[in-house]
A and B are shown apart, each in its own frame.
Chain A
């Protein structure tokens, strides 16, 4: 019987759902596209720093920031999953809820996978000197 949220809120909610589903994927892609060429090209040019920043730190940032974005995405996906759980146990048969719930499940697991990849890459930054061949 409620009128429900306004169009802007709805849009925000719809986009938030997609952040929960694909946020980790996008963050990981950004991580790879920054960290890899940064390392390879700087080393190939025979340098160990990017502008004033030491190379290892730059690469490290290219790991940590996407990692945090992924954690955020994971939290959002979990939130959607819990909210929709409540809605569907309340008994309303609404395929939009079931659909969002499925996407949330996909989001939770996908974000865990991407977080694993990013963290493994981060461990490597701690282990290897950036330009060791």
Chain B
């Protein structure tokens, strides 16, 4: 190793020119449809998920307006059912996970020192599918055909004899469609993190955010099939007269519930884990030190990812099964709080031991800790079966999971948006505006959802479109509604802040926060090839570490510049030893075509136009065949024996 020949300064100008040429991302319409650049795709994920968040948020505001006073008539019961179902479904499936996948897409290759994801075209495909699936589901709302069965769509109400119309067909098909995107994204994250890490980034030097994304991706791989199987059976029951969930034909309604929660509980962590990863990524910059107890946080991530598969029955404590079989799940439900606690204490210790830099991202992190801990507290109350049976299906539950989801996912995402905005857009945001946004959102959140604990305890059931005037209900409901407007205002200010930054923001330096991970050693925004020289990583905090920095300047070697083509490095799975340089794919229309054909397929299935669906399947098969068709190579290169 010590006999490296090159001690040339950084990279030559011709190397940079060649890199720019091979990785060029022209600003043309064609490039817009064909790009495979993970940064553009990541940005699109963020923007699209934010768009669905706005739609779901507006649905919530309509609901809150309806509930502000007893017996008001802003929406009809049918409309209300569709609103809360679309609100929940979109928040969970079209906002939370894709938003975090957006962060992952943008950041994972940058954090591990790679030039793109492992499968860039698959990545583009995943985005288009997400977009189309989201539009597919939302498009049903103006037709009055949106899902209306609650976001977990319990049987038997989801059966066609109880719930005619297209509503639940949209739900089943839409989620199956979206599942393709989520699964392909998950596979892509895992393979990227396994094979594309910069040389030297052994597992003990992988940023916590990347650990979180990979753990999440593994959870998707093993959790999503349960939801897919469930929805496939639901669609068959509704459309083709099978009897999976239909007791009159020997089926069983609990099967839906079981399969749904086998997916659904891990899904809560699928949403929360990467958000916690954001927190671990943001903290070092604002405490001026690494997060305390790295190994224990890795442990906590891995343990949560696994244990969350064993707790699903706690959602069904109200359904009546043998005591003993409950206890296996109660044990897991209790123990899973330990790893979550570890993370919280590690962050608190980090903040105590570090020097706090009070900027907007840190405010959101603190807001997250406060809110999430409160949500965790009410969650621990559910672990007591007796209490759970008391408050199941009341507003207490609504309060609880909004504390967990807004505290545990939305606040970290907002911290992440402010933190990485300079990297994503190359502009700084306005600090004062950001503070206003934080205080409004934080106050609004608690004013909206704290009173729901009370209305829940007073007996107000969830999912009712209105209520009779009762002592204690009216006033608190009005408070909740006012709070939701405050929260909306805060979120609007976030949007204003982003737009302001993009338009007027002052140009951001490469590393405005003196962050520790590799994305801060690229330009803001990064060049299409991310790194002129792929670094050689020497520690857990490569950007704070002089030896890693040296590997990209005076220590740069040609095998890490790779300027003769569109290339990046493969390294070994655990210790990131250099294996070989590989060519990365060029932009292509095929991902878009494939996703479009799938959209046609699912729409045709929805409208029972089966011949069209068959044609779409053929197009799908043909596109995949062409996509993967091996290029023709001379025999010497292939290695052919006679």
B298 near A95: Cβ-Cβ < 8 Å = no
The DSSP consensus for interface residues of chain B is helix
- C-alpha spacing A109/B309, complex, angstroms: 18
Interface-forming stretch among A3-11, A67-75, A98-106?
A98-106
Contact of A102 with B204 at beta-carbon distance under 8 Å, contacts A39-B322, A117-B335 already known: yes
| A124 contact from B299, B306, B328, B575, Cβ within 8 A | B328
Q: Smallest CB-CB separation from B324: which chain A residue? A: A128
- C-alpha spacing A128/B461, complex, angstroms: 33
- C-alpha spacing A105/B302, complex, angstroms: 12
Q: Which residues of A have CB within 8 Å of B294?
A: 102
A92-133 residues with Cβ-Cβ distance < 8 A to B are 95-96, 98-99, 101-103, 105-106, 109-110, 113, 116-118, 120-121, 124-125, 128-133
Judged by a CB distance under 8 angstroms, whether A29 is at the interface is yes
Q: Which residues of B have CB within 8 Å of A87?
A: none
A98 near B204: Cβ-Cβ < 8 Å = yes
| B309 contact from A29, A101, A110, A129, Cβ within 8 A | A29
B327 near A128: Cβ-Cβ < 8 Å = yes
| B202 contact from A25, A31, A98, A106, Cβ within 8 A | A98
A124 near B324: Cβ-Cβ < 8 Å = yes
B299 near A32: Cβ-Cβ < 8 Å = no
A39 near B204: Cβ-Cβ < 8 Å = no
Q: Which residues of A have CB within 8 Å of B295?
A: 102, 105-106
Q: Smallest CB-CB separation from B334: which chain A residue? A: A120
| A117 contact from B296, B299, B307, B323, Cβ within 8 A | B307
B307 near A130: Cβ-Cβ < 8 Å = no
A95 near B309: Cβ-Cβ < 8 Å = no
B299 near A106: Cβ-Cβ < 8 Å = yes
Q: Which residues of A have CB within 8 Å of B205?
A: 95
Contact of A121 with B204 at beta-carbon distance under 8 Å, contacts A28-B310, A40-B321, A132-B322 already known: no
B320 near A133: Cβ-Cβ < 8 Å = yes
Judged by a CB distance under 8 angstroms, whether B384 is at the interface is no
Contact of A124 with B331 at beta-carbon distance under 8 Å, contacts A99-B574, A117-B307 already known: yes
* Binary per-residue interface labels of chain B (332-347) against chain A in the complex, 1 for a CB within 8 Å, 0 otherwise: 1011001100000000
Q: Which residues of A have CB within 8 Å of B298?
A: 102, 106
Judged by a CB distance under 8 angstroms, whether B203 is at the interface is yes
Judged by a CB distance under 8 angstroms, whether B200 is at the interface is yes
Judged by a CB distance under 8 angstroms, whether A16 is at the interface is no
A99 near B323: Cβ-Cβ < 8 Å = no
B575 near A95: Cβ-Cβ < 8 Å = yes
Range class of the B interface residue count: 20 to 34
Q: Which residues of B have CB within 8 Å of A118?
A: 331
A14-59 residues with Cβ-Cβ distance < 8 A to B are 25, 28-29, 31-32, 35-36, 39-40, 43, 59
Q: Which residues of B have CB within 8 Å of A105?
A: 295-296, 299
B312: min CB distance to chain A, Å: 10
- C-alpha spacing A39/B329, complex, angstroms: 13
Q: Smallest CB-CB separation from B321: which chain A residue? A: A40
Q: Which residues of A have CB within 8 Å of B329?
A: 36
Which of B320, B338, B575 has most A Cβ within 10 Å?
Answer: B575
Judged by a CB distance under 8 angstroms, whether B325 is at the interface is yes
- C-alpha spacing A129/B325, complex, angstroms: 11
The DSSP consensus for interface residues of chain A is helix
B306 near A132: Cβ-Cβ < 8 Å = no
Judged by a CB distance under 8 angstroms, whether B383 is at the interface is no
* Binary per-residue interface labels of chain B (547-581) against chain A in the complex, 1 for a CB within 8 Å, 0 otherwise: 00000000000000000000000000011000000
A113 near B339: Cβ-Cβ < 8 Å = yes
Q: Which residues of A have CB within 8 Å of B303?
A: 109-110, 113
Q: Which residues of B have CB within 8 Å of A95?
A: 200, 202, 204-205, 575
B296 near A109: Cβ-Cβ < 8 Å = yes
- C-alpha spacing A110/B305, complex, angstroms: 12
Q: Which residues of A have CB within 8 Å of B339?
A: 113
Contact of A99 with B575 at beta-carbon distance under 8 Å, contacts A110-B302, A113-B339 already known: yes
Q: Which residues of A have CB within 8 Å of B309?
A: 29
Q: Smallest CB-CB separation from B203: which chain A residue? A: A99
A32 near B322: Cβ-Cβ < 8 Å = no
Q: Which residues of B have CB within 8 Å of A120?
A: 327, 330-331, 334-335
A132 near B203: Cβ-Cβ < 8 Å = no
* Binary per-residue interface labels of chain B (625-641) against chain A in the complex, 1 for a CB within 8 Å, 0 otherwise: 00000000000000000
B145-198 residues with Cβ-Cβ distance < 8 A to A are none
Q: Which residues of A have CB within 8 Å of B324?
A: 39, 59, 124-125, 128-132
Contact of A32 with B202 at beta-carbon distance under 8 Å, contacts A39-B322, A113-B338 already known: no
- C-alpha spacing A129/B324, complex, angstroms: 8
| B328 contact from A36, A101, A109, Cβ within 8 A | A36
Q: Smallest CB-CB separation from B300: which chain A residue? A: A109
- C-alpha spacing A125/B324, complex, angstroms: 7
| B310 contact from A32, A40, A43, A131, Cβ within 8 A | A32
- C-alpha spacing A131/B326, complex, angstroms: 11
Q: Which residues of A have CB within 8 Å of B299?
A: 105-106, 109-110
- C-alpha spacing A4/B332, complex, angstroms: 42
B121: min CB distance to chain A, Å: 32
- C-alpha spacing A112/B496, complex, angstroms: 48
B327 near A131: Cβ-Cβ < 8 Å = no
Q: Which residues of B have CB within 8 Å of A132?
A: 322-324
B317: min CB distance to chain A, Å: 13
B335 near A29: Cβ-Cβ < 8 Å = no
- C-alpha spacing A40/B289, complex, angstroms: 50
Which of B294, B327, B329 has most A Cβ within 10 Å?
Answer: B327
Q: Which residues of A have CB within 8 Å of B334?
A: 120
A131 near B322: Cβ-Cβ < 8 Å = yes
- C-alpha spacing A95/B205, complex, angstroms: 9
Additional 6 contacts, C-beta under 8 A, given A105-B296, A105-B299, A110-B299: A106-B299, A109-B296, A121-B331, A124-B324, A133-B320, A133-B322
Can you name 16 A-B residue pairings with CB atoms under 8 Å?
A28-B306, A36-B328, A39-B324, A59-B324, A98-B202, A101-B204, A102-B294, A102-B298, A105-B296, A106-B298, A106-B302, A109-B296, A116-B331, A121-B331, A131-B324, A133-B323
Q: Which 10 A-B pairs have the closest CB atoms?
A: A124-B327, A120-B331, A102-B204, A95-B202, A99-B202, A105-B295, A106-B299, A128-B324, A39-B325, A121-B328
